[in-house]
Structure 1
Amino acid sequence: MTRDDVRDPEDREAGDEIPVGTDADEVQDAGEVVAEATESADEEALVDAGLPRQGARPAKDGGVRRPERRASLSHRLYNGEAGLDVVGHSRLIYKVTAVVVLLCIASMVFRGFNFGIDFAGGNSFRLPGTSEQLVEVREAAEGTGAEVASAQIVGGNTILLRTEQLDTDAERAVTDAVAAAAGVDPSDVSEEAVSAEWGNDITDQALIALAVFLVAVIAFLALRFEPKMAVGAIAALVHDIVLTAGVYSLIGFEVTPSTVIGFLTILGFSLYDTVVVFDKVDENTKDLERSARMTWSEAANLAVNQTLMRSINTSVIALLPVAGLLFVGAGLLGVGTLKDLALVLFVGLAAGAYSSIFLATPIVADLKEREPEVRALRRRVQARRSSALRTGGVRTAAPTNSTSARSLCVPT
């Protein structure tokens, strides 16, 4: 070791250079590094990181005065700073829902459904033609005494005519009449007879599929969450089915196999949205008995608000293309084959969004509030809040002297 190695840095001469690559040139002032990083950072990034803006004046308590930033609606909903008291207004929700469901049931009972040829049975006729010839072809078929259920253009240049069940002579008469009205040869008319038994088979298969689906849903929710959540989900699904079927009955759209497919589709969507809410409810209510920070119903209501924006966004995104099918495809373009599927999807998706937010969770909360453990939790929460209010009232009382002031500020 030389003398230069043991000399103090302050004893070095000003002209001495530090050799590059040694440990000495790696030594940096920590304050300079922080200052450089702070100067290069964006002011908004500093605020988000909890650091003061450059040139910000300190507050009275020695801290830094920071501008108030208004949180977004989704953030306030998630933190419980804003939201809907869905569980608290469950009685009103039940009443409104019951009125709508009863109207739908009354329509199904007294008005009935407009079953298509696949369910009611009948004959169909396809022939070349344009939209200008549609009225003439229909009138020609009705002129033979046949009852025409529907007449529409499919594929742009084909007329599809559906009638009631016809015998052989009546079928031949309709074929000749529509061919003459369209100006084509009778051999160009494609005839098809559908028996009502085939439609009954479709109905039976759909009911079996629905039963299997409901059993699978109950088993999954009972195992993944708890049986009471399975009850709430099934109640929401029944609501969606009844409401969609009631709207179909009121409007009078034809019930086709596409309608059955749409029914099964909306059940899956409604269940998905409900499971998302239930998963958040399960997360909020876990270990709730230990902390007693809120009641079970309050935790469930918070979960509904935390997932509210997600449910709304998901439903809107799903409804937009379906609305295009219903209003543009079936309404403006006159594509009748789309309206059967589009209507059931549109009504079902809207009903599913409503039931998953406003119906499923309140039902579960009302069932849970009947349990002794949940009732005991509610009493503990109320007692804790009452104690906090009394303590807060004492602390805010004006002290008479310095001794009493110090005693009131002692935490309990």
Structure 2
Amino acid sequence: MSSSRFFSRLYRGETGIDFIGTRKRWYLASLVLIVICVGSMVFRGFNVGIDFKGGTQFQIKAANTSITTSSAAAAMAQTGHPAESAAQQVGSGATRQIVLKTKQLDLATQAAVQNKLGQVLHIDPKDSISTDSVSSSWGGEITKKAVQGLIVFLLVVFAYIALRFEWKMAVGALTALLHDLIIAAGIYSIVGFELTPSTIVGLLTILGFSLYDTVVVFDKVAENSRDLAATARMTYAEAANMAVNQTLMRSINTSLISLLPVAGLLFVGAGLLGVGTIKDLALILFVGLAIGAYSSLFLATPVVVDLKEREPEYRNLTKRVQAKRVAARTPVVEPALAGTAPAPRGKPAPAPRPGARPASRPAKRRP
């Protein structure tokens, strides 16, 4: 098949890619990713920001100066309270600032560190350096609220899908969301970006995107599987596979349109321009959108198919569909006329040559 014909069929939703028949290999791929991500979360952990664990933040005005993130980090190390995470650059030009984060310091220590930074960097500590402190108790409360919000979100999603479709589809959607959550968090742990409130906002955003894509596919599955038991025109797995192919182009378009601006934030804003404060949000959005599109097609619907085909109704449907297809492939043999002898076994008689005279009939005897 030529590429132009393939893309034409893809645009019309007429592709025949076997997503459901090859679901075991996608299960295996997801399992490998989950094991890697869980291993990173257990052994490597997260680079938790001060908003969750508490700490002190120093903001240095670096406009029209030669101060860089590395020189600011070195100056902080000279104060005896080194930064607990990499220094970040915020803004550019007249609004450029360097952000340094340390463990929680009392007011007297904050003032001493502020003065020392001013001496090392040759700037006025009062005008050019500001401090902000977050207590560990407040950070713990933020963590608790974030976890509670995530749990409530997943429960609401399960209830909505169960009421809108059925509980088996709710299980499939929740499986896809948990899959996206674990892999996105695991990649965040592997890369080592700081975990901030922006990360939680981005995480909830990508879960919502994954849910939207999954609901679109489920709606098409419900449409294709309507009255299947009565017509027996196809199995439930075939109806679900058709639905995935019919929504494939829509999923690709939605994912690309969402990924392009996020890629701009991540690779241009954080990578080329060095705006460190947006990389936390950009990474979680980029990874989450990509993995959410994957799970909607390759995980959520196959899980639903596995659950549905365990029902007696759909097991019987599969047998009926297969029996109809076997009967359709079996050639129909006309019954022999009464009183005629069965055809002799062996090789069939050779076909007459074109233009040959018909064989003469035996003469009838007169009584």
TM-score by length of 2: 0.84
1:79: how far off?
Answer: 6.4
Q: Does residue 166 in structure 1 map to residue 105 in structure 2?
A: yes
Residue by residue over 1:14-63, the C-alpha shift from the partner in whole angstroms, topping out at 9 and shown as x without a partner, is xxxxxxxxxxxxxxxxxxxxxxxxxxxxxxxxxxxxxxxxxxxxxxxxxx
Match of residue 133, structure 1, among 22, 42, 67: 67
In structure 2, distance between residues paired with 1:392 and 1:233: 46
Tell me if structure 2 keeps the 8 A contact 1:137–1:181: no
Q: CA offset at residue 167 of structure 1?
A: 3.4
Query: CA distance change for structure 1 residues 309 and 206 in 2, over 3 Å: closer, same or farther?
Result: same
The one-letter code matched in structure 2 to 1:96 is A
Higher relative contact order (CA 8 A, sep 6+): 2
The aligned amino acid for 1:164 is: K
Q: Distance in 1 between matches of 2:333 and 2:100?
A: 80
Match of 1:109 among 16, 38, 42: 42
**1:168-247 matched pairs, under 5 angstroms:** 168-188=107-127, 189-247=129-187
CA RMSD of the aligned region, Å? 2.2
Unaligned runs of 5+ in 2: 335-347, 352-367
Out of 3, 10, 21, the position equivalent to 1:88 is 21
Retained in 2: the 8 A contact 1:117–1:123? yes
* Aligned-pair identity (%): 55
2:258 is aligned with what amino acid? A
Q: 1:400 to 1:372 in 2, by over 3 A?
A: farther
Secondary structure of 1:88 counterpart: coil
Name the aligned partner's letter for residue 75 of structure 2: A
- Structure-2 residue corresponding to 1:273: 213
8 Å Cα contact 2:232/2:317 also seen in 1: yes
Per the TM alignment, residue 180 of structure 1 is displaced from its structure 2 partner at its CA by 1.8
Structure 2 SS opposite 1:356: helix
* Helix, strand or coil at the partner of 2:66: helix
The answer on 1:99 being equivalent to 2:32 is: yes
Map Cα deviations across residues 261-286 of structure 1 (whole Å, 9 max, x no partner).
00110010000000000000000000
Q: Match of 2:90? A: 154
Residue 332 in structure 1 maps to residue 272 in structure 2: yes
Contact between 1:74 and 1:309, CA under 8 Å: does it hold in 2? no
User: CA 1:272 to 1:79, structure 2 compared with 1: closer, same or farther past 3 Å?
Assistant: closer
Structure 1's unaligned 5+ residue stretches are 1-69, 402-412
- Report Cα offsets for 1:123-181 as digits up to 9, x if no partner: 11123224731233321210121121232222323222211222344322311121123
When residues 181 and 137 of structure 1 are mapped into structure 2, their CA distance, relative to the original with a 3 A threshold, is farther
* Distance verdict in 2 for CA 1:127–1:319, change over 3 Å: same
Stretch moving more, 122-131 or 90-99:
122-131
Letter of the 2:110 counterpart? E
**What is aligned with 1:318?**
258
Distance in 1, Cα, partners of 2:349 & 2:253: 53
Name the CA distance, whole Å, in 2 between partners of 1:270 and 1:400: 66
Residue 77 of structure 1 contacts residue 305 of structure 1 at CA under 8 Å; is this kept in 2? no
Map of 1:63 onto structure 2: none
* Correspondence for 1:35: none
SS of match in other structure, 1:170 = helix
Name 1:377's counterpart in structure 2. Answer: 317
